[in-house]
């Protein structure tokens, strides 16, 4: 992780960095660590979806890896994990926590959230330590990037928390640019692949940064004449693609089947506004939100990193005199900040539209505003150079560095984090887990488009039994599912039975606490009317479980 100095010194520093990263993460995400098994950001469909997703991958990679993409939603559809981000990286990290906790989906998910922050801290520290050779600057940069307001605004989206791979990929690239060896090219390939499998957006960002870096350093250092440089980069790209491609094929198949593509017009809705760069949920900044009106994405980098990042540009001349490489690094990250900032405003600002037409991978993107994360990373690296320059001759460098880290933490802090207690799981699901396999359908069957995400609650409950669900939610909604949502919402009646029969539905769960009083009474009357087709398995107050034992005759 720290590629310099004697081996023993490096190991000691690495151990200290990991311990410090774990402690800082516990503080900045408090009280997530002590409540990891009993709470989470499940106040939205996206949050519940993330918990289900991570648990599905962590479980299925162990018990049935060949069926990984055949997630238990939208039955009888197959390949449904590819209807949204697969979150394979998060699922892999969750495996030991999922199984050690006896299949607790909250433990699996929250452990990965905490690990994502620890890895981002260590990755950014290692990157900036390598570039600046300064521990204090590296620590300030690591905190600023890892806990930036953008990341905390996406706590319910596990894939957008997996941002550690970007600094690790840049570190691998810088090491390769310094010395072109097969081993360093392989490390670069592995870090790029790991980031792509953890978050598609960030995987593309990391690849674009390395491509830009290849051109920048190829020209600035004269490496464009070195065939080993280009051969190593080509090999790294090839190995990375070879690793990722098998996991990406289901998305290509979905694109062919559904004609799925992100148009340039789609990206306008998800582009940054100038107010986005003033929006923050951190306690030190949130007072400004009422004055912003509509801001869209949360992209304020933080006051400390912004000031230090600009100061890092001022340190360019001193760095250039000390070492030509340092000056080149400052120019590179300043360029990244400008380009990412400009592109984040989407097609109307011009650059993003040009990139969309020239770079094929942009057809898979929808949210230009997420490029704001690269602005934060670039500012964090520049801030590392600023701290290095400011404290270079100080006799109290360690003390001042610690103070700057504490100030940066206070600047971006949101703790205590808002958490929601884990939803109690009805004993009905314990009964369902013990019964023979078969598709499950849960009611109410939410049929209005704005309520589709409420099916995520059933997906979260399914982690207790893992039977296939006719319910489902994802970025892509199958057209036949859309067509049946309205008639199914009236189950049980003859029309809904006709829909469920070819789907071979075997179990029906009713959540009467999710109906209003009038609807609940009507549904109970219909259950009584069709009782000969529905065998009660367990009636627990507000949650009823039935086995579908027969089908009404066709008329």
121-132 pLDDT, tens digit per residue, is 999 999 999 999
Token code pair at residue 172: 């691998």
The answer to whether residues 123 and 188 belong to one domain is no
Whether 448 and 525 share a structural domain:
yes
How much is the pLDDT for 533? 96
Domain assignment of residue 553, yes or no:
no
Query: In this model, does residue 325 exceed pLDDT 80?
Result: no
- 237, 260, 283: which is the final residue of a domain? 260
Q: How far apart are CA 85 and CA 54, in angstroms?
A: 11
Give the separation between CA 430 and CA 425, rounded to whole angstroms: 9
Total number of domains in the chain: 4
List Cβ<8 Å contacts ≥24 apart for 332-339. 332/213, 332/216, 332/217, 333/378, 333/381, 333/382, 334/378, 334/382, 335/212, 335/216, 336/209, 336/212, 336/374, 336/377, 336/378, 337/309, 337/374, 337/375, 337/378, 337/379, 337/382, 339/212
Eight-class DSSP state of 192: H
Asked if residue 554 is part of any domain, the answer here is no
Residue 508: which H helix or E strand, with range? strand 507-511
Name the residue with higher pLDDT: 324 or 40: 40
299 pLDDT more than 60:
yes
Domain end call among 260, 283, 304: 260
| Secondary structure percentages of the chain, helix, strand, coil, to 5 | 65, 5, 30
Q: Does residue 453 carry a pLDDT above 70?
A: yes
Residue 71 and residue 209 in one domain: no
CA distance 546 to 539: 9
- Contact predicate 290/268, CB 8 Å: no
DSSP secondary structure letter of residue 65:
G
In a domain, 345, yes or no: yes
Under a CB-based contact definition with an 8 Å cutoff, are residues 545 and 507 in contact? yes
Asked if 438 contacts 506 with a C-beta cutoff of 8 angstroms, the reply is: yes
Say how far apart CA 421 and CA 334 lie, in whole Å: 43
Determine what percent of the chain is predicted with pLDDT higher than 70: 96
555 domain residue, yes or no: no
Q: Which of 422, 441, 470 is the last residue of a domain?
A: 422
Is the pLDDT at 46 greater than 70, yes or no? yes
Give me the domain span that covers residue 453: 427-548
Q: What is the DSSP-derived secondary structure letter of residue 469?
A: B
Phi, psi of 540 (to 5 degrees): -120, 85
pLDDT digits (tens, 9 = 90+) for 58-68: 999 999 999 99
Which helix (H) or strand (E) segment holds residue 535: the answer is: strand 534-540
The answer to whether residues 414 and 458 belong to one domain is no
Average pLDDT, the chain: 93
With bands split at pLDDT 50, 70 and 90, how would you rate the model's confidence at 4?
low
The answer on 410 and 298 residing in a single domain is no
Dist. CA 455–CA 356, nearest whole Å: 34
* Residue 412: inside a domain: yes
Q: What are phi and psi of 121, to 5 degrees?
A: -60, -50
| DSSP conformation class of 184 | H
- pLDDT digit string, tens, across residues 193-232: 999 999 999 999 999 999 999 999 999 999 999 999 999 9
- 101 and 196 both lie in a single domain: no
Q: Are 463 and 103 in contact (CB under 8 A)?
A: yes
Contact 380, 124 (CB under 8 A): yes
Which residues lie across from 511 on neighbouring strands? 543
Q: Which residues, 6 or more positions from 275, have their beta carbon under 8 angstroms from its beta carbon?
A: 292, 293, 294, 295, 296
d(CA 425, CA 52): 14
At 257 the pLDDT is 79
Arithmetic mean of pLDDT, 268-285: 95
Do residues 167 and 120 make contact, with C-beta atoms less than 8 angstroms apart? yes
pLDDT confidence band for 254 (50 / 70 / 90): confident
- 6: pLDDT strictly greater than 80: no
Could you tell me if 182 and 231 lie in one domain? Answer: yes
Confidence band, pLDDT 50/70/90 cuts, at residue 157: very high
pLDDT at position 100: 98
Q: 134 and 150 in one domain?
A: yes
Is 322 a residue whose pLDDT tops 60? no
Mean pLDDT confidence for 79-96: 97
* Any domain includes 235: yes
The whole-angstrom separation of Cα 441 and Cα 428 is: 13
Mean predicted confidence (pLDDT) in 9-18? 90
Model pLDDT for residues 159-175, shown as the tens digit of each residue: 999 999 999 999 999 99
The secondary element (H helix, E strand) that includes residue 539 is strand 534-540
Residues 273, 139 share a domain: no
Give the tens place of pLDDT for each residue, 343-374. 999 999 999 999 999 888 887 788 999 999 99
Q: CA separation (Å) from 194 to 206, 232, 356, 357, 384? A: 10, 18, 24, 27, 25
* Same domain flag for 411 and 379: no
Average pLDDT for residues 410-414, to the nearest whole number? Answer: 97
Residue 498 lies in a domain: yes
- Asked whether residue 519 is assigned to any structural domain, the reply reads yes
Do 246 and 118 lie in one domain? The reply is no
Using 50, 70 and 90 to split pLDDT, how confident is the model at 2? low
Q: Does the structure show a pLDDT above 70 at 321?
A: no
Q: Do residues 379 and 405 share a domain?
A: no
How much is the pLDDT for 435?
95
Residues 6 or more apart in contact with residue 53 via CB below 8 angstroms: 81, 84, 85, 86, 87, 90, 91, 158
Alpha helices in 179-275 (DSSP H): 182-198, 200-220, 227-258, 264-269
Give the rounded distance of the alpha carbon of 403 from its chain centre. Answer: 31
Q: Where are the alpha helices (DSSP H) in 259-371?
A: 264-269, 303-314, 316-322, 324-343, 351-358
């Amino acid at each position: 992780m720290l590629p310099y100095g004697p081996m023993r010194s490096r190991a000691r520093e690495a151990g200290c960095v990991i311990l410090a990263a774990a402690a800082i993460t516990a503080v900045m995400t408090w009280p997530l660590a002590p409540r990891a098994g009993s709470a989470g950001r499940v106040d939205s469909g996206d949050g519940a979806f993330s918990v289900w997703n991570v648990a599905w991958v962590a479980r299925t990679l162990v018990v049935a890896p060949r069926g990984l993409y055949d997630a238990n939603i939208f039955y009888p559809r197959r390949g449904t994990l590819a209807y949204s981000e697969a979150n394979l990286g998060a699922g892999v990290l969750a495996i030991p926590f999922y199984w050690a906790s006896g299949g607790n989906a909250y433990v699996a998910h929250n452990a990965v959230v905490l690990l994502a922050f620890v890895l981002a801290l260590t990755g950014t520290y290692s990157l900036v330590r390598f570039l600046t050779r300064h521990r204090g600057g590296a620590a300030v940069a690591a905190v600023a990037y890892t806990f930036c307001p953008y990341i905390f605004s996406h706590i319910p989206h596990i894939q957008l928390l997996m941002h550690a791979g970007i600094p690790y990929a840049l570190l691998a690239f810088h090491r390769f640019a310094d010395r072109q060896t097969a081993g360093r090219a392989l490390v670069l390939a592995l870090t790029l692949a790991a980031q792509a499998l953890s978050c598609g957006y960030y995987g593309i960002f990391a690849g674009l940064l390395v491509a830009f870096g290849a051109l920048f350093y190829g020209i600035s250092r004269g490496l464009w004449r070195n065939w080993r440089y280009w051969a190593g980069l080509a090999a790294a790209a090839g190995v990375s693609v070879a690793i990722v491609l098998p996991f990406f094929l289901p998305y290509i198949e979905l694109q062919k089947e559904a004609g799925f593509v992100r148009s340039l017009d789609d990206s306008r809705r998800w582009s940054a506004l100038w107010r986005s760069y003033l929006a923050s949920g951190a306690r030190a900044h949130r007072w400004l939100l009422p004055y912003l009106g509509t801001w869209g994405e949360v992209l304020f980098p933080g006051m400390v990193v912004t000031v230090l990042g600009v100061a890092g540009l001022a340190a360019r001349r001193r760095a250039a005199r000390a070492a030509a490489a340092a000056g080149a690094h400052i120019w590179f990250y300043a360029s990244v900040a400008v380009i990412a900032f400009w592109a984040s405003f989407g097609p109307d600002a011009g650059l993003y539209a040009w990139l969309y037409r020239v770079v094929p991978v942009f057809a898979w993107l929808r949210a230009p505003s997420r490029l704001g994360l690269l602005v934060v990373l670039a500012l964090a690296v520049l801030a590392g150079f600023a701290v290095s320059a400011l404290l270079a001759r100080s006799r109290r460098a360690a003390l001042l560095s610690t103070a700057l880290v504490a100030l940066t933490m206070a600047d971006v802090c949101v703790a205590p984090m808002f958490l929601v207690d884990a939803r109690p799981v009805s004993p009905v699901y314990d009964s369902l887990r013990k019964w023979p396999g078969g598709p499950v359908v849960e009611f109410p069957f939410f049929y209005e488009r704005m309520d589709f995400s409420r099916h995520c609650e059933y997906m979260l409950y399914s982690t207790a039994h893992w039977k296939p669900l006719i319910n489902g939610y994802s970025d892509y909604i199958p057209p036949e599912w859309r067509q049946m949502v309205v008639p199914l919402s009236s189950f049980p009646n003859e029309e809904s039975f006709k829909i469920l029969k070819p789907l071979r539905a075997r179990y029906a769960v009713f959540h009467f606490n999710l109906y209003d009083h009038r609807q609940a009474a009507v549904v109970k009357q219909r259950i009584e009317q069709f009782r000969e087709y529905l065998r009660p398995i367990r009636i627990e107050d507000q949650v009823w479980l039935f086995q579908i034992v027969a089908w009404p005759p066709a008329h």
